[in-house]
Structure 1
Amino acid sequence: MFTTRPEIAGTFGAVATTHWIASQVGMSVLERGGNAFDAAAAAGFTLQIVEPHLNGPGGDCPIILHSARTGAQSVICGQGPAPAALTVAKLKGELGLDIVPGTGFLCAPIPGAFDAWALMLRDHGTWRLRDVLDYAIGYASRGAHVVGRVAATIETVRPLFETHWPTSAALWLRGITPGALYTNPELAETYARVVREAEAASGDREGQIEAARNIWYGGFVAEAIDRFGREFAALDTSGRKHTSLLTGQDMAGWRAGTEAPLTHDYRGHTVLKCGPWSQGPAMLQALALLEGFDLAAMDPVGADYAHTVTEAMKLAFADREAFYGDPDFTDVPMATLLSAAYTEARRALIGREANNDFRPGSPDGIAPRTDYAAAIARSGALAMAAGTGEPTVSRLGASGGDTCHIDVIDRWGNFVSATPSAGWLQSSPAIPGLGFCLGSRCQMFWLDESLPNGLRPGKRPRTTLSPSMVLRDGRPWLSFGTPGGEQQDQWQPIMLTRMIDHRFGIQQAIDLPSFHSEHWISSFWPRGAKPGKLVLEGRYAPEVLAELTARGHGAEMGGEWSEGRLTGARLEADGQIFAGANPRGMQGYAVGR
């Protein structure tokens, strides 16, 4: 099969990310003797510089890793929770909101990315913090080349920055053009100061990393976030200005945690995902449903395959909406949702024709509670506003960000799959003196404490961020993931089933045309839904679109090379390492030898 580029092959190591500079940074670390955890952290901090429209230091980062030393896999939860003052009573009662804004300060959780990287580096890495951060500091101070999508994103929010977010205007409206070098000296100094203060506090590697964590969450970084949030009121998607509810005290009381991954076996492969504080289990549910179908007998770019996978996803994502939430606050019936009996009953709902109802199940007799009709209405209202020329993006900053992804395998057999995101440049006003802004993940909460994903202080919003890892015969085999919001756990099972059921390599599975549904309630402001909508990548045959439409899907053809942002790396039993990356957008690359 034709591929856009060769699948990378070697035995020493491989790095695949959503930006070629980050991939090269990660490979540089491996070449200089660092392990996969050192390499992933260095690449992750670099992504904050080269893809600022997709992630930032104030964002989030879930990580799945395999340690060759211990032989175990674990999840590092870099998803920060809601601040103490962010309550339903505050937003709904005092401020008169019926939904969490999608931009500004009210949607900001405690930023989790820095501590996730630091925790992984402390417990599994070998490099000092100075050496890991040196790459990001260098690109921030000397400049990184601007890709077209950075400049295009800035243009969409230029009026908001010029009129309402002056600190962001000062940082980002400096004549950025595609191909030019752009520097962020404020962020370079932030990281350089963290290193200086950490080294002054301790002489050993682990002590310096621990000091850096305390500096970030209890030192000058937290102080600057607290001060600016109290002093400045930011316009958000509500059309009003609000100060921040995130405080230095919130930050001082939180640290990233480590937990066991959630797993499910698919045709002899054990798939690892984050828990139900993420949407990751929806992929496991979809795979459980698909195991009852002969996907290998289906054309991987045919109508039967697209229909079957889409209908399974509809059922899995309906359960996501009805039952997933932070398990520290809500009892998620995950064992039942993945059980054979429940899966068999749900699988019987998949027929030859599309079903465009919203159909969550009733695990353990629990009645689902969702507001699908209201979500449909919100989608319609937004479409009407856009159709009448309402400048939603430019006036209110409702320019959705995306995400990054990193996969690393080293010569010792360590694996990292990480999906850093949020804190993108358009999410909230830049914090003076720090060179970055806060995230917006709390927009995913509902303003109803009784719901599984209802807002409560200290609770993690149910994130769409969803790294993946797969074991074969009990050994780590594949690390992969993608940006894409709701699409992350759609494009990933499509890639995986094409690899397992159709025997494609990584690059082949990535390059094949893909698809996504928008049938369920979106996790992002304004939390809309589009029943039955199915988007095929433009390279699909017209007859596939026609058949899916005839079966009842609200199918449409998207642009060519528009579906999927995947990267992946795998280690075979004979020691060979393979890697691939998404050619769409001409940013993602895999490297290795």
Structure 2
Amino acid sequence: MKLTCFILLLLAAPATLLHAQQTQKPPLHGKHWMAITGKPLAATAGAAIFQQGGNAVDAACAMLAATCTMWDVLSWGGETQALIYHPKTGKVIAINALGVAPTGATPAFYKAKGYSFPPEYGPLAAVTPGTPGGLCHMLAHYGTMSLQQVLAPAMEMAKGYPMEAQTANSIEREKALIKQWPYSKTVFLTHPGEKREAPEAGEIFVQRDLLATLGKMVEAEQQALESGKDRKQAIMAAYDRFYTGDIAREFVRGCREQGGLITLEDLARWKPVEEEPLHINYKGIDVYKLQEWTQGPALLQSLNMLENIDLKAMGYNSTRYIHTLYQVMNMAFADRDFYYGDPSFSPRPPIKGLLSKAYARQRVQQMRQDRNNPTVQPGDPYPFEGGTNPFLSLLKERMKLADTAAPAKPGQVVPKHDAAAGPGSIAPGEADWQQHDVLTAAVAGEAGKLQHNALAAEAAYQSRLWRGTTTVEAADAEGWVVSITPSGGWMPACIAGRTGVGMSQRAQSFVLDPVINPFNVIAPGKRPRVTLTPSLALKDGKPYLAFGVQGGDTQDQNLLQFFLNMVEFGMTVQQATEAANINSEQLWLSLGGDSLKARLPRPGHLLLQAGTSAQTRAELEKMGYKLTFRQRTSGPINAIYFDREHGSLWGGSSNHGEDYGIGW
């Protein structure tokens, strides 16, 4: 009761009082450095590197390696996306270490196997691994330490670390799929044949094959140093061993043995890409995102639309504010769903037009003020970059897809990857799943089966919508700032041979039909359009915020609101990470779902924080919204705020997961 009253008070509080509100986790303060990521042990790895004299890039690489080793909703075979602020040049650098579709990965190949989209799990969901190459590239070019130093915490973990409940329970839930893949079964199911086959929370989890793989990379680096190579060349020697040496050969053998497509040539041809980030200016703040192979520009489009609207006058999470955010996000995501894709392939997405301030003004004029617009479609950005839209006929054809009925929404559930309870405790989300099990067990007969199926379908939808990753945020006194949103190879992961490396499942974010998105049709060598979206913001040319969140298609929705919470409503960084958000489901799912129906937008479906007032609920329902409620309305948000007035760092890490930070 007290918590509910506190939440209601916070929702109603004017911006001037928000500074006085307490948070459920304390803010972090540091003078010298800040390290924040998805697991406490991984944050400790970053802190250890800082204490040894490393810079923010060194620490970020150590945290990335540790989270991969801990299977923090990703693994070493996944992908890495990063933004780095370089204090000596004053520039923001974008690192694209997303894998590509392998040889033979064509629409015809998947359609011949009966797929409407590339599969959700298994070898045919894999793109080439990007994280090892991305880590090596960042460390070699912008770090100061050796690969051996940076991988030391991860290698210690591979020798054996106490597994936390979240990962342990995820393995147990997914063990039926894990048993299909021999190498995964050997690694993850440490108690075969027992009632619980996965590790227990707190059990020492050993990964001998992964330790050997990381050891080979360090060995290659040391051999290069002994032969007279410099630090950068030695790190890239480790890179070469992973992508062209014995590690590559075993990875490919293990992948293809289990039915995958990746070849040695695919690994050898792949390279991480250093590219220009995209950015816009919002009321004097420059906000940076990766290019349109991510969903990041959707946040930039949203800010462009919101720039000329007096959000502060509406009031934080008022009915007008929620409606305005929902409509703006729907337009940005409609553009994302049709126009975003790998810019290195033809046709090239019209990103200049999409990020035009004039285009944003046009989109705002199209927004309904009185109620939800369930038929929001992609706009036409081509005139705003001096071109003619070649896909107008395709857009008309695409509109017919909306006639396909979207699944009904039976009630509130929480994605299963949120369940993180340990012995004697119930985590946020675990209670909902226990309630789901009770409800399922209580119903009987044909009606009971229908209710069970509806609950299961809704649970699957929410899991795909919110499917997690992790984030890595690091900053140091010299001015280096790093924001990373890595992912891929989550549970249930298919491990490639004796490498200990789980393969990515990112191919599922491609489409097979250009009617859905002509820029994101799968092709060999192409990167899928991903949800992964690190963020940096500069003010007066200096770092202002580094921020990221896990949560699939909800990432840029929640990051948008986090940013506005600070800029418009004066919240501290910790308050902004914990604040109540809204989530729209009026978008195409990017992950999972093996049918068109499973991925369709759900117009008007709106997630609100459970403490939302009865008046606001009633007003939104009159405006055509279908409401659900949850205590948690965001994935774990991690952020660093740069306090120029006091010369210090503030860290924020929300109370919505196991994310953790350390500052000094």
Deviation at 1:387, TM superposition (A): 4.4
- The verdict on how the C-alpha distance between 1:390 and 1:445 changes in structure 2, with shifts beyond 3 A counting, is same
Are 1:409 and 1:570, in contact at CA under 8 Å, matched by a contact in 2? no
Deviation at 1:255, TM superposition (A): 1.0
The alignment partner of 1:62 has SS state of strand
* Counterpart residue number, 1:184: 207
Q: Return the index of the structure with the highest Cα Rg.
A: 2
Distance 1:571 1:104 in 2: 42
* Counterpart residue number, 1:79: 98
Distance 2:209 2:521 in 1: 36
The alignment partner of 1:115 has SS state of helix
* Counterpart residue number, 1:159: 176
Deviation at 1:12, TM superposition (A): 0.8
- The verdict on how the C-alpha distance between 1:426 and 1:513 changes in structure 2, with shifts beyond 3 A counting, is same
The answer as to 2:165 corresponding to 1:137 is no
Q: Structure 1 residue aligned with 2:139, among 121, 127, 134?
A: 121
Are 1:401 and 1:424, in contact at CA under 8 Å, matched by a contact in 2? no
Letter in 2 for 1:287: L
Are 1:53 and 1:426, in contact at CA under 8 Å, matched by a contact in 2? no
Deviation at 1:282, TM superposition (A): 0.5
Deviation at 1:160, TM superposition (A): 2.2
Are 2:175 and 2:492, in contact at CA under 8 Å, matched by a contact in 1? no
Q: Structure 2 residue aligned with 1:380, among 404, 407, 410?
A: 407
Deviation at 1:448, TM superposition (A): 3.3
Deviation at 1:371, TM superposition (A): 4.0
Q: Structure 1 residue aligned with 2:364, among 347, 350, 358?
A: 347
Distance 1:372 1:410 in 2: 49
* Counterpart residue number, 1:564: 635
Question: Counterparts of 1:92-491 in structure 2 under 5 Å?
Answer: 92=111, 94-143=112-161, 145-162=162-179, 164-174=180-190, 175-203=198-226, 204-232=230-258, 243-329=259-345, 330-350=347-367, 351-364=369-382, 365-366=388-389, 367=392, 369=395, 371=398, 374=401, 377=404, 379-380=406-407, 387-388=452-453, 401-427=467-493, 429-448=494-513, 451-491=518-558
Are 2:133 and 2:239, in contact at CA under 8 Å, matched by a contact in 1? yes
Distance 1:373 1:147 in 2: 46
Distance 1:67 1:502 in 2: 29
Letter in 2 for 1:282: A
Distance 1:43 1:491 in 2: 23
Distance 1:441 1:99 in 2: 11
* Counterpart residue number, 2:66: 46
- The verdict on how the C-alpha distance between 1:430 and 1:579 changes in structure 2, with shifts beyond 3 A counting, is same
What TM-score, normalized to structure 2? 0.82
* Counterpart residue number, 2:572: 505
The alignment partner of 2:627 has SS state of strand
Answer with 523-532 or 475-484: which moved more.
523-532
Are 1:156 and 1:393, in contact at CA under 8 Å, matched by a contact in 2? no
Deviation at 1:274, TM superposition (A): 0.4
* Counterpart residue number, 1:19: 39
Distance 1:246 1:269 in 2: 42
Deviation at 1:140, TM superposition (A): 1.4
Letter in 2 for 1:221: I
* Counterpart residue number, 2:589: 522
Superposed CA offset, 1:482-505 (max 9, x none): 011111100001000110011111
Are 1:401 and 1:426, in contact at CA under 8 Å, matched by a contact in 2? no
Superposed CA offset, 1:240-269 (max 9, x none): xxx111111100111101011100011110
- The verdict on how the C-alpha distance between 1:43 and 1:316 changes in structure 2, with shifts beyond 3 A counting, is same
The alignment partner of 1:530 has SS state of coil
Deviation at 1:319, TM superposition (A): 0.5
Letter in 2 for 1:359: Q
Distance 1:152 1:300 in 2: 37
Superposed CA offset, 1:516-559 (max 9, x none): 1111111112233212211112233333222222211122112x
Distance 1:577 1:272 in 2: 20
Answer with 415-424 or 546-555: which moved more.
546-555
The alignment partner of 2:529 has SS state of coil
* Counterpart residue number, 2:74: 55
Are 2:177 and 2:492, in contact at CA under 8 Å, matched by a contact in 1? no
Superposed CA offset, 1:120-166 (max 9, x none): 100000000000000000011131x322221221122112223x223
Distance 2:275 2:95 in 1: 7
Could you tell me the percent identity over the aligned residues? 31
Superposition CA RMSD, Å: 2.4
Letter in 2 for 1:341: A
- The verdict on how the C-alpha distance between 1:39 and 1:381 changes in structure 2, with shifts beyond 3 A counting, is same
Letter in 2 for 1:301: N
Deviation at 1:224, TM superposition (A): 1.3
Deviation beyond 6 Å, 4+ runs, structure 1: 381-386, 389-395
- The verdict on how the C-alpha distance between 1:542 and 1:78 changes in structure 2, with shifts beyond 3 A counting, is farther
Superposed CA offset, 1:33-83 (max 9, x none): 100000000000000123x15010000010000111222111000111111
The alignment partner of 1:98 has SS state of coil
Deviation at 1:390, TM superposition (A): 11
Distance 2:633 2:116 in 1: 33
Deviation at 1:385, TM superposition (A): 8.9
Answer with 310-319 or 25-34: which moved more.
25-34
Distance 1:540 1:386 in 2: 27
- The verdict on how the C-alpha distance between 1:578 and 1:390 changes in structure 2, with shifts beyond 3 A counting, is closer
Q: Mind listing any 5+ residue stretches in structure 2 that lack a counterpart?
A: 1-20, 191-197, 383-387, 411-448, 594-598
Are 1:279 and 1:462, in contact at CA under 8 Å, matched by a contact in 2? yes
Distance 2:357 2:370 in 1: 22
Are 1:75 and 1:259, in contact at CA under 8 Å, matched by a contact in 2? yes
Are 1:158 and 1:394, in contact at CA under 8 Å, matched by a contact in 2? no
- The verdict on how the C-alpha distance between 1:296 and 1:392 changes in structure 2, with shifts beyond 3 A counting, is closer
Deviation at 1:340, TM superposition (A): 2.1
Are 2:581 and 2:634, in contact at CA under 8 Å, matched by a contact in 1? yes
Are 1:379 and 1:530, in contact at CA under 8 Å, matched by a contact in 2? yes
Distance 2:48 2:257 in 1: 42
Are 2:81 and 2:95, in contact at CA under 8 Å, matched by a contact in 1? yes
Deviation at 1:87, TM superposition (A): 1.2
Distance 2:210 2:365 in 1: 53
- The verdict on how the C-alpha distance between 1:376 and 1:524 changes in structure 2, with shifts beyond 3 A counting, is farther
Are 1:406 and 1:417, in contact at CA under 8 Å, matched by a contact in 2? yes
Answer with 541-550 or 351-360: which moved more.
541-550
Distance 2:402 2:262 in 1: 28
Distance 1:390 1:246 in 2: 37
Q: How many residues align?
A: 574
Answer with 343-352 or 124-133: which moved more.
343-352
Are 1:53 and 1:401, in contact at CA under 8 Å, matched by a contact in 2? no
Letter in 2 for 1:40: A
Deviation at 1:507, TM superposition (A): 0.2
Q: Structure 2 residue aligned with 1:28, among 48, 62, 76?
A: 48
Q: Structure 1 residue aligned with 2:30, among 10, 28, 52?
A: 10
